[in-house]
Every structure is written in C-alpha cells, then in structure tokens.
Amino acid sequence: MGYQSGFRPGLFAGKTVFVAGGGGGLGRCIAHELTSLGAAVVLAGRTQEKLDRTRAEIETDGGLVKGCFSAELRDEAAVERLVGDAIECAGDFDGLVNAAGGQFPAHLADLSLNGWNAVLHNNLTSYFLVAREIYAQSMRRRGGSIVNIGADHNNGMAGMAHNGAARAGLSNFTASAATEWGRDGVRVNCVIPGFISTAGLDRYPEQDHGAIAGVTQKIPLARMGVAAEISAMVVFLLSEVAAYVTGADFRVDGGIHNGASSFVFKPGQARNSQVFNGFHRDEPAQLPGAASSH
C-alpha cells in the first residue's frame, strides 16, 4: 500500500519540487505525498543518511527522486552552490517546500547569544536563503509556488522565545516575498502546524513529556495532528488549485489558537473526531499521550 492522498492522481505530473528538510519529519511526509501524485523531487538537508533513507523509501514506492544534496542551509555560499547543482541535476523547479527548521527549549534568562542565533538561522535565515536562490536561479524566469513551514507565534512562545522570534520573522518574510515576487508568477505561503505527533516530540526532555501529553486538553478537537494533515495543506498550496492564493498563513492546528474552553464554556468528552492519516510510512511520537486518535 502506498501513500493514500486525498488529491487526484497525477496532480503534479511533470512537476519538480525542491524539498528542504526532506530527510525527516514533515518534510519526509510531504516528499512522499508529492511523489505519489506524480511529482519528481529533489531532497536537501544537513544529514545525507536521512536524505538517502527518504530517497530509498520513495523509490521503493515507485516515486522519482532526482537528487539528494546535503548542505549547511544557513551558509549563503553553500546554498547558492546547492541550488545551482540541483538545477543542473533536475532542471527548473515548479515548487519549493521549506521544512528544514529546528529548535530547542530555553528560558530567555538562560539563553546564550549562540543559542539565539542558531535557532534564528535554522528557522529564518536558512528559509530565506533557500527561497531566494530558488527564486533567483529558477522561479523568476518561470513562476512557481513556495511553501514555508512555520509555527504559531501570535501569543509569544515562552520557553522558546528564540523560536517564536524566528517564526514571526518567517511569516513576515512570507508576506513580503509574496508581494515582491508576485509579478513573476511566484506564490509564497506559510503553513503553521499545531502539535503534530512526529518523532521530533520524543526528543524533548523527559520532564516535558507530561506537559506535551496534556496539551490535547487545550485543543478543541482534543487530539494531536498527524504529518499527513500538514502535508495535505502544503500540497493544496503548491498545486494549481491554489493559483490565486499567496502571502498568507494557514493554521493546521485543531483550533488550539482559539482554545478549547472559556470562562463561560467547558468542553465535554471528545467524540467523532476524524484523523486523516494517509502516510503509510508515518512515524508518530512514542511518548505517552501523544497519540493522534481516540
């Protein structure tokens, strides 16, 4: 059984998409869905072993990977070379998925400048560099669609303020790039996941596991999401169906930004919540309470 996408077969036939962060997490899932719909992909990231694993999975499932490139995505010269090499290998790009972020928890009073800069470079600078080079070397001539994977920063991000600052910048960059590049036929959007059950949650310190598991009480749908539910939004935004959509943030978070209760409303027992889990190779979080279904 392959990827069970909700989109029509062949939606991306003849298209090539660059997936930064395609070696794991959401990027891996997105690459799988795109190739299941006929796209060819180029995978990029920092760890060649992870990229090679995703490539082997996709090829086993009958999909096409035109190249895998490991590079330091926070380094300007490295990204310039990476995109040039990728175009030489795969041709021009119709789409870009920026999903190569990374962060760690830290209180502001304890956060070093190196730690601050590392997360800003991971989640903002690298996205800018990859998008700029894909635009300059390919999309400026022919148009295309860029989707950044962000995070909800609207209410601050206490305990990870460096990440919140980067993600706020990413949303603003998305809006600015959509305006500057729109006349060239390039659309730029940002997907903002909520709590998604991926293996990345398992890397948080054990003392945080209880809080992570309890977050479902704050979500109207009373569950975490799965990678395929993020990928579906990305696929929509990359596709021709979204031809008039640009410069926007799209939350996929089960409603957590609104909260599950108020001082005059208390939620009842969760029921009837449906999960779209089309990713046949999904690797959900294993920590207690992180299950995505009831």
Q: How do residues 175-231 score in pLDDT, each as one tens digit?
A: 999 999 999 999 999 999 999 988 777 777 777 777 888 888 999 999 999 999 999
Q: Which domains does the chain have, with CATH numbers?
A: 16-252 (3.40.50.720)
Count of helices and strands (H, E) across the chain:
9, 7
pLDDT (0 to 100) of residue 289? 62
pLDDT (0 to 100) of residue 159? 87
Q: Which residues of 48-72 are buried (b: 16+ CB within 10 A; e: fewer)?
A: eebbeebbebbeeeebebbbbbbbe
| Rounded-to-integer distance, Cα 253 and Cα 99, Å | 17
pLDDT (0 to 100) of residue 294? 41
> Is the backbone of residue 239 left (phi > 0), alpha (psi -120 to 50) or beta?
beta
pLDDT (0 to 100) of residue 30? 98
- Whether 293 shows a pLDDT value over 70: the answer reads no
Collapsing DSSP states into helix, strand and coil, what is residue 272? coil
Q: Over the stretch 64-103, which tens digit does the pLDDT of each residue have? A: 999 999 999 999 999 999 999 999 999 999 999 999 988 8
- Whether 16 shows a pLDDT value over 90: the answer reads yes
What is the rounded (10 degree) CA torsion for 7, 10, 12, 17?
A: 100
pTM of this structure: 0.94
Q: Over the stretch 110-144, which tens digit does the pLDDT of each residue have? A: 999 999 999 999 999 999 999 999 999 999 999 99
- Whether 256 shows a pLDDT value over 50: the answer reads yes
- Fill in the amino acid letter for 44: A
Q: Over the stretch 230-242, which tens digit does the pLDDT of each residue have? A: 999 999 999 999 9
Distance of CA 245 to CAs 94, 186, 192, 220, Å? 16, 10, 16, 27
Q: In what order do the strands lie in the sheet with 64-70?
A: 64-70, 40-45, 16-20, 95-98, 144-149, 186-193, 249-252
